[in-house]
Structure 1
Amino acid sequence: MTRLNALKPFRFLSIALVAMMLIFGLGAKDAHALGGIPNFSIPGIGSIGGSGASISIPGLGTIGIGWGSGGFTISFGQGGCGGNTIGSVMCNTVEAVSLIPGFLSAIAYLFGLYLGVIAILKLRDHVENPNQTPLSESIKRFAAGGAFFALPMVMEVAYNAVAQDIFAPTTSGFNGGQTVGGGLDAMVAALVNDIWAPMHLVFSGFSYLAGIIFIMIGVSRLLKSAQEGPRGPAGFGTIMTFLVGGTLLSIDAIMGAFTGSLFAADNISTYAELNFDSGMSADELNHIHTVFSSVLAFMMVIGWISFIRGWFIIRDVAEGSHQASLMAGMTHVLGGALAVNLGPVLNVVQETFGITGYGILFT
């Protein structure tokens, strides 16, 4: 018995050494030289972590520490972030929260260090009293701490699990955007013209931040016990939290996957033209095309909201929430994808009913 007690410190040190090699080995890869926060690259997104890190979102631009709004272009009018409009308010909001990804990375890094220290203390307690403190109490803290310490790597895994080699769809532009008088339709066109690009900026930024938070929630589930059910370490809710987190990180690419699956194309047809325009003047056609483009762009905004909300509902179902249903989640996702692809949907409907000769062609 005396000999076993004498070996306890060596047992503790050897296990602690291996565990610390695990946690710091995961987090130290490509660590930033200045801040010490790991900086990992995510395919199609960029990098997060480290001093001055940034994230580039397909079709959005670069966000992170000092993110910008460049990279997103749309041919429907000017829109954008200039002036004193609703669109500029959205852009200002995105700019105001531009440091949150880097902040979350730093929080995860510090929490990983904290869990590493607690894990060592739990390991000591296990060595001194194995019956009272099981080894799993230390191991799961080492695992969660390592995952927090290497949050960008975990994000990369979640991203690749759902969106590797999938690209965001492109649009063919809108036939409209010109001033069409002072009526109610002109006001609708002006509204959509102003909010279209900023709304996509908000959706992409919100989805990315939500994805990071979901990944952090999933990692924190490693500290729970199997008695938690779906919210346990290996519960279905935890698995879906990681998958939905990866989906939100790559929301544009996931929309591209739906577009390709439904219409076998990587381009969303948004350029509307009347097939029958006999007797109409150029001003009248411009008026009609602008209204069509405004309605189409507005429906695409609604579609994005539905599409993103659907993934939240699906995660709630996996969590065991009785307030949500899988049918509602899938309806939001599929309905949102169809609304974003409203141009191709209308083309299909017109082709089915044989009215393409006097309908609206979206190319």
Structure 2
Amino acid sequence: MAGGRPEAVFDPEAIALTYRLAAHTSAGSAEFGEVVQLLGLVHLCGNGILRPGAELPVLPETARMLVPVFRSAPHTLPVLLLVTVELIAELPPYRKPEQLAAKAINLMDHGIAESDVPSVAGAINLFLDAVAASPPDHPDRDAMLTGACSGWLTVYRLTGDPSAVDHAVRLGEESFAGPLRPTRAEPATNLGIALRLRFDHAGDPADLERAIDLLEEGLSYTPPDHVDLPVRLNNLGIALGTRFDHSGYRRDLDLAITTLRQAGDALGPHRRERPGFLGDLAYFHWVRFERTGDRTDLEAAAGLFAVAVTSRDEALRQRAQAYLRAARDELAKLPHQEGGRQKGWWRRK
């Protein structure tokens, strides 16, 4: 699919390889769910979605093939396929906490991908239904609350409604107060983000201090090769920069720049978030230039804003263009002139 050759699903050798893989995978192994899902999706593509002229996809057999995946790892199925399997295979409706949470994850992914607030709100409700259906000692209860907290953070990002931040803080506190788990990275990070956002609106320094502590704690539980490491570093860098903006302590500004640089390095050159991450780093180099007059910071800011202008986000792109023009104007002055600090943010998360 990614290579633009969906017809490869009809390749007899590929189909035979898939069946051989399934035949040699133990039903009790960790890989079984993935293999059966692959087999079912190949069947679905070959007999339904990609077959031109078919009146209806041949789904019942595919649904039956995917039942083991539905039961063992429903969160791995796209939400529409998950519902299809449930209906065609006549499985019982969602009742167990794990099933409700799995559907919530799918619906949340759909809402984020489509910027669809009703889908995100539906996912939050499903997470809360899962919490209500689970006993206090359920091993996934904290994760369900964390999922609902993350959902409210997404609502805030899509709508800017401050009340969404309050909901996120409340659920984040509840998830973080649960029994200790082997890792607390996600609940600590989500609550830290929510508290930093509440500081933006309410201005309570205690929220910002605790946010930084929690974001640092989340990072301490994050392996160096974890996919979320760049985002968690970026959030900590923004929080440190926020504290500098509030207190004026130079050490916070230096730490923000170091942390945001680490986030950009960890992200790599190809992720779509890269222009925004480098825009954050560019902004704080710009701020430090205005504070110290150091041309090195000015040159760094100009180079990074030149990358940030490639962002797909129009608002971020326009801000980056404005800062890039200002940085180039300063570079053209010999000697450069020190200016007053910008009061506005490059962006807020």
Q: What's the TM-score, normalizing by structure 1?
A: 0.25
More strand by share: 1
Q: What's the TM-score, normalizing by structure 2?
A: 0.25
More helix by share: 2
> Which structure has more RCO (C-alpha within 8 Å, separation ≥ 6)?
1
Q: Report which of the two structures shows the higher radius of gyration computed on alpha carbons.
A: 1
